[in-house]
Amino acid sequence: MLFNNTHFIIPARKGSKGLPKKNQLLLDYTISKIPEAYHDRVVVSTDDDHIVEKLKSKWPNCKTHLRSDSSAIDTASTKECLQEAIDHFSISGNIVMLYLTYPERSWEDITKAYKWFVEKKATSLLCREPLMTHPFLCLYELDDHRGAQITEHDLYRRQDYPKCFKVSHVISIFKQKELKKLNKNLYNKETVYYEVNESLDVDTEEDFKKIKKEKMKRCLK
């Protein structure tokens, strides 16, 4: 089977400044996409009592990892909570990490990315999306009236620009032993990238309304 010796870890921290109770609202979108046969290998890492209770009542086969105080604060990285969950359940093999903020992601998307990970004999994988604006055309602010190139270059023709892409965490896959070698954004020079279309990362009430509207459209078809 494709997902042998694989666990699915879902980070679900309580706080959200852009959309209150965001992860409570989005939990069902992600877990419902994962076939029930794999639910005993789903781990939700959270500090939210409401999510804990919801898992018990609606998704009882999924596992819950209660975050420590240090991994539940705003400044803690996802890498910290992943390592805690892995250590707590003595997880080995491959890890598929799924942020709840990408509710449009399908099981087919996850499967295709995983096949790419296996095909490339990779140790870690992230997704990438097309860039609307090339970094060579971007500046960072020096003060109210001045800016400087993000990347120093003297190329004029766009045809000469190197191909660039935007990193997306819509799906992240890595070998358990590789996690300590990844940076806090979960990649390193050995990471391979799976191309995806631009995906909506839900962070505000307006984003959430878009998702609900699209779901309603699909139900009416």
Domains annotated for the chain, with CATH where assigned, are: 6-220 (3.90.550.10)
Mean pLDDT (10-residue bins), the chain, 221 residues: 94 75 85 96 95 95 94 88 96 96 92 96 94 81 86 79 88 97 95 86 75 52 44
**What pLDDT score was predicted for residue 84?**
96
Question: Percentages helix, strand, coil for the chain, rounded to the nearest 5?
Answer: 35, 20, 45
Token output for 172: 């992240």
Q: Rounded to an integer, what distance in angstroms lies between the CA atom of residue 150 and that of residue 172?
A: 27
Q: Is 166:87 a contact under the CB 8 Å cutoff?
A: no
**What pLDDT score was predicted for residue 36?**
96
Give the amino acid at 163. K
DSSP H stretches of helix in the chain = 22-31, 49-58, 78-89, 107-119, 205-220
**What pLDDT score was predicted for residue 82?**
97
Entry pTM: 0.85
**What pLDDT score was predicted for residue 140?**
86
